[in-house]
Amino acid sequence: MTTLEAGNQAPNFEAKDQDGNVHKLEDYKGKKLVVFFYPKASTPGCTAEACNLRDNWEAFQSKGYEILGVSADSPKRQQNFKNKYELPFPLLADEDKSVIEAFGVWGPKKFMGKEYEGIHRTTFVIDENGVIEDVIKKVKTKAHTEQIL
């Protein structure tokens, strides 16, 4: 598992969002970008996290940030999640896990005593030149905006 840290160049990713539009790292050159990885669309923690970012969307916009959500859900699931909670940012449907693996957030997890492979809830803050400014591994789903800004 690659461990990306502040100061590293962000991986040059490419993936489709809920509507089939392709997003690449280079599309965000000159902008600050928040890429948040979440385990599964519409689950309680992921919903709290996404809605916290949604509720603070204007604060992000005023500071020049774009936001991308990423999980291994299908485009349809991402679309339902986005529509249901009126999320103003794209959600990447990374079904082949290429973006997830490039950022090194896939790996062993424990839940209720069981071990399994999954997405580690992690957020990357990337600057205008594609350099990682911050990696947030202990995400507070209900206060995530404060952690980022």
Catalytic residues: 46
66 Rama sector, left if φ>0, alpha if ψ -120 to 50, beta otherwise? beta
Sheet holding 122-126, edge to edge: 91-93, 65-71, 32-37, 122-126, 132-136
Cα separation, 100 vs 102, whole angstroms: 6
Helix (H) or strand (E) holding 19: none
Q: Which two tokens stand for residue 55?
A: 């509720």
Q: Which among 128, 107, 132, 134 has a CA at the least distance from the CA of 29?
A: 128
